[in-house]
A and B are shown apart, each in its own frame.
Chain A
Amino acid sequence: DAKTTQPNSMESNEEEPVHLPCNHSTISGTDYIHWYRQLPSQGPEYVIHGLTSNVNNRMASLAIAEDRKSSTLILHRATLRDAAVYYCILRANSNSGYALNFGKGTSLLVTP
């Protein structure tokens, strides 16, 4: 499985934009890029996913590099409720039904 690399932690001020980077230099042509987040004491929560083009939804935007070797999750205005661990994930082994290979993720701290 292709691996992802994320910073261990990031910090942002409330109501500021946040750019969470992810490197995936060994990504294959058919791998989707998924982002999940995990708030304290909760299960992981789907945020967004994409293949080649940039994607927007009500939670965030996903910017994918032209060579697909990196991507950035963008939270347009961070709130205190966005403090969580953010995971950048590529498709896992198809025998596992595209189960999610969670790495360590980026722990986002949002300060007032």
Chain B
Amino acid sequence: DAGVIQSPRHEVTEMGQEVTLRCKPISGHNSLFWYRQTMMRGLELLIYFNNNVPIDDSGMPEDRFSAKMPNASFSTLKIQPSEPRDSAVYFCASRPNRAGNQPQHFGDGTRLSIL
């Protein structure tokens, strides 16, 4: 089975540019999460979708960040304008349903560097 697929794997861009990260969850999973990982803060939740609807976006740092899930098989995380402090590894994860004991499946992440 294909796992969670993220693209691109690496992104290097200049400050002020728009960045779009993409995620394809596992087919049949109806919960999707975006996480960010930095050395200083570790892994932290940005936003959670259930059945394509954003349920909790309290972890989104500021208005420069936005996330969408137009259908069950695709989600994007957009940063506009990007800043050097946004440099991090961004992970997408999906889960079969809302039950708290269901494991999450993570993609390999997008390593983002803002110069």
Contact = CB atoms under 8 A, between A and B. Distances in A.
Contacts of A96: 45, 48, 55-56, 58
Chain A residues touching B, range? 20 to 34
A97 B56 CA distance: 8
B106 A97 contact: no
Given A91-B100, A97-B50, A46 B105 contact: yes
A42 B106 CA distance: 9
Nearest to B97: A97
User: Interface majority SS on A: helix, strand, loop or mixed?
Assistant: loop
A44 B45 contact: no
B110 to A, nearest CB: 10
Contacts of A51: 101
Contacts of B105: 46
A44 B43 contact: yes
Interface string B79-115: 0000000000001010100111111111111000000
A32 B103 contact: no
Residue among A94, A96, A99 with max Cβ neighbours from chain B (10 Å):
A99
A104 B45 contact: no
Interface of B: 4, 31, 33, 42-45, 48, 50, 55-56, 58, 91, 93, 95, 98-109
